[in-house]
């Protein structure tokens, strides 16, 4: 087995407002990894370079994995640059020669200045720091670069396997399934493409998240891959998971917390997901960027279905139409699809939230992104969340139509007392305008409520108004078979702009959470639980228990 060193812990830290000269940095402080430097004194809200340093005992060939940084970064080993961290939140692996066995210096320079991938207008805070674990593995010269496993037939347990090695060699490879059945194959030109059957297999579903293991041994290298047996398809307007109709109900969720920023600890992620599941939900849209590997493993094991997407929020021309932007989006889409390939929880892959999909010039961009993802993954469903509604001209290019309508919140004028009566007719008009032969989901809908603000007449921004609005939206979408899913905007309040003066973002937060930023539920939480309990959706949700009244006493 590989020697693995988890490098999380307390690292030396320095902050600089301008690009640092590596040789001259005085590491006067310490911070935690994972962690965000701009959520804590003395760097709260500051923009610049957050430089993390630690020593590592190792040598020879190594793989260094970093599970996301913000907003960008660079990695240095003994003073030499070994790679860039170009995209916020993107997990990256670096393979390099670490030198003689002994003590070496690892420096990760993060930078939270906005760039042409994370623009300053995004409606979520651009945190700085190292968001996920940093792991170093010592490798033999011939090593396994990647293992991809996917389901060919869920009825028979027939799987497809691809193994890529570090060298274009011809070698024997040993595969051991669930610590039982062993089979041997020959790697040719450094690659193996084969198929295998899993005996006594158990399907992966949200209600029964069964996982299997494959131990892959190549020379002196060995890795164990976890995988699930499941197939996702569309048939007309329906989503099918393992041949059965699947309906989605859940939340858009940001990686965000006042004390942790985007570096939420696993225990908080787990608490979030358990809370969401107890409400009867089966779905998370990982809005609006790559999800942490630890989060996806959690979703695999818990049975939470996931939509993962690249970072590219509401970008407008000329940037949207530039060759550079497309190249970066394609690169992100390919990297992300490869990184998440073996996670059965990921059923939808997305890109370009709320793009300009009403203009024909955007069609080739969506087509190119669709093809790039499809080339990597033959089965996942591919889409983007649109807010162009009846004007959208790209719906034929994707597998599921996903829209972000906000009736009752964004459409009512200042004089209207309540926008709730707008919800049903607006939803219906939208449904009537869609191509009739594709699945349709609401990828976002919601309204703001300031935690603790109550009003006897359900004024806007009160918890009462939000609860009423979301109940109306849920009672439509969870009971009409035309909708294959509903994903509420959003699970919890999340920091947006640093100052609350931006219209509609009091406190500097996006307040459309059903919980506040500390996960304290607003009234909408229980209102939605009741809608779910009484819904058609529940009959399709595959055995997730919903918290009943009796559980709450």
Q: Give contact residues for ligand ADA (rule: CB under 6 A).
A: 123, 288, 353-354, 387, 404, 444, 489, 510, 512
The Cα 468–Cα 470 span in angstroms is 6
CB of 490 to ligand ADA, least distance (A): 7
DSSP letter at 538? G
- Distance, CA of 107 to chain centre: 26
CB of 445 to ligand ADA, least distance (A): 9
Structure tokens at 452: 């603790």
CB nearer ligand ADA, residue 9 or residue 120: 120
CB of 510 to ligand ADA, least distance (A): 5
CB nearer ligand ADA, residue 436 or residue 500: 500
The Cα 330–Cα 352 span in angstroms is 11
CB of 447 to ligand ADA, least distance (A): 9
CB of 430 to ligand ADA, least distance (A): 14
CB nearer ligand ADA, residue 38 or residue 444: 444
CB nearer ligand ADA, residue 25 or residue 420: 420
CB nearer ligand ADA, residue 125 or residue 483: 125
The answer to whether 520 and 526 are in contact (CB under 8 A) is no
Residue that has been written with the tokens 């669930």 in this structure = 178
CB nearer ligand ADA, residue 54 or residue 512: 512
CB of 472 to ligand ADA, least distance (A): 18
CB nearer ligand ADA, residue 404 or residue 462: 404
Nearest to 275 by CA among 529, 445, 527: 529
Tell me the sheet residues that pair with 212: 227
CB nearer ligand ADA, residue 133 or residue 353: 353
DSSP letter at 519? -
Tell me the sheet residues that pair with 235: 238
CB of 277 to ligand ADA, least distance (A): 23
The Cα 281–Cα 486 span in angstroms is 10
Q: Dihedral sign for Cα 338, 340, 344, 346, please.
A: negative
With 0-12 CB in 10 A as exposed, 13-18 as middle and 19+ as buried, what is 432? exposed
CB nearer ligand ADA, residue 217 or residue 329: 329
DSSP letter at 546? P
CB of 293 to ligand ADA, least distance (A): 23
Tell me the sheet residues that pair with 72: 111
Tell me the sheet residues that pair with 197: 158
CB nearer ligand ADA, residue 337 or residue 404: 404
The answer to whether 347 and 380 are in contact (CB under 8 A) is yes
CB of 32 to ligand ADA, least distance (A): 28
CB nearer ligand ADA, residue 33 or residue 467: 467
CB of 231 to ligand ADA, least distance (A): 29
The answer to whether 40 and 26 are in contact (CB under 8 A) is no
Helix, coil or strand: residue 411? coil
Nearest to 341 by CA among 371, 308, 367, 369: 308
CB nearer ligand ADA, residue 196 or residue 384: 384
Number of Cβ atoms within 10 Å of the Cβ of 114: 15
The Cα 14–Cα 20 span in angstroms is 10
| Strand pairing category for 102-111 and 69-70 | unpaired
CB nearer ligand ADA, residue 342 or residue 422: 422
CB of 79 to ligand ADA, least distance (A): 40
Q: DSSP per residue over 122-177, as a string?
A: -SS----EE-S-EEEEE--SS-EEEEEEEEEETTTTEEEEEEEESS---EEEEEEE
Nearest to 515 by CA among 350, 309, 332, 276: 276
Structure tokens at 509: 């937060």
CB of 489 to ligand ADA, least distance (A): 6
Cα–Cα distances (Å) from 141 to 99, 176, 189, in that order, read: 13, 22, 16
Q: Using CB atoms, what's the residue nearest to ligand ADA?
A: 123
Tell me the sheet residues that pair with 445: none
CB of 287 to ligand ADA, least distance (A): 6
């Amino acid at each position: 087995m590989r020697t693995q060193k988890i490098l999380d812990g307390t690292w030396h830290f320095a902050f600089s407002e301008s690009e640092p000269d590596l040789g001259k940095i005085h590491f006067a402080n310490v911070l935690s990894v994972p962690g965000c430097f701009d959520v804590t004194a003395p760097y709260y809200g500051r923009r610049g370079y957050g430089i993390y340093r630690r020593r590592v005992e190792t040598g020879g060939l190594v793989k260094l994995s970093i599970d996301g940084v913000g907003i960008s970064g660079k990695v240095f080993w003994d003073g030499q640059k070994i790679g860039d961290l170009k995209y916020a939140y993107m997990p990256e692996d670096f393979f390099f020669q670490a030198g003689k066995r002994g003590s070496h210096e690892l420096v990760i320079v993060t930078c939270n200045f906005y760039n042409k991938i994370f623009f300053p207008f995004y409606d979520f805070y651009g945190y700085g720091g190292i968001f996920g674990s940093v792991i170093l593995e010592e490798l033999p010269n011939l090593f396994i670069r990647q293992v991809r496993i996917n389901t060919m037939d869920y009825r028979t347990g027939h799987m497809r396997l691809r193994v890529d090695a570090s060298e274009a060699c011809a070698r024997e490879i040993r595969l051991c399934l669930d610590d039982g059945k062993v089979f041997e194959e020959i790697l040719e030109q450094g690659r193996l493409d084969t198929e295998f059957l899993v005996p006594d297999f158990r399907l992966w579903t949200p209600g029964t998240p069964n996982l299997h293991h494959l131990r892959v041994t190549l020379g002196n290298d060995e890795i164990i891959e976890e995988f699930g047996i499941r197939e996702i398809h569309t048939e007309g307007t329906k989503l099918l998971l393992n041949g059965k109709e699947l309906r989605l109900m859940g939340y858009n969720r940001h990686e965000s917390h006042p004390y942790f920023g985007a570096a939420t600890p696993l225990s908080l992620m787990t608490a979030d997901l358990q809370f969401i599941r107890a409400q009867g939900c089966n779905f998370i849209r990982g809005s609006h960027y790559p999800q942490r590997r630890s989060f996806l493993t959690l979703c695999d094991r818990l049975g939470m279905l996931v939509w993962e997407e690249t970072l590219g929020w509401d970008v407008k021309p000329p940037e949207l139409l530039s060759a550079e932007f497309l190249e970066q989006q394609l690169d992100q889409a390919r990297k992300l699809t490869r990184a998440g390939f073996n996670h059965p929880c990921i059923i939808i892959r997305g890109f370009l939230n709320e793009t300009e999909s009403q203009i024909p010039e955007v069609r080739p961009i969506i087509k190119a992104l669709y093809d790039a993802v499809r080339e990597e993954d033959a089965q996942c469903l591919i889409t983007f969340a649109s807010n162009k509604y009846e004007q959208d001209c790209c719906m034929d290019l994707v597998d599921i139509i996903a829209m972000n309508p906000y009736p009752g919140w964004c459409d009512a004028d200042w004089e209207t007392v309540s926008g709730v009566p707008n919800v049903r007719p607006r939803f219906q008009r939208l449904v009537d305008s869609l191509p009739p032969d594709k699945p349709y989901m609401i990828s976002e809908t919601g309204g703001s409520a300031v935690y603790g603000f109550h009003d006897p007449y359900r004024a806007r921004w009160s918890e009462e108004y939000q609860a009423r609005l979301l109940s109306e939206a849920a009672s439509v979408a969870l009971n009409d078979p035309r909708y294959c899913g509903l994903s509420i905007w959003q699970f919890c309040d999340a920091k947006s702009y640093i100052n609350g003066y931006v219209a509609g973002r009091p406190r500097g937060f996006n307040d459309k959470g059903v919980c506040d930023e500390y996960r304290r539920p607003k009234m909408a939480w229980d209102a939605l639980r009741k809608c779910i309990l009484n819904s058609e959706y529940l009959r399709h949700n595959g055995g997730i228990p919903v918290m009943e009244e009796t559980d709450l006493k």
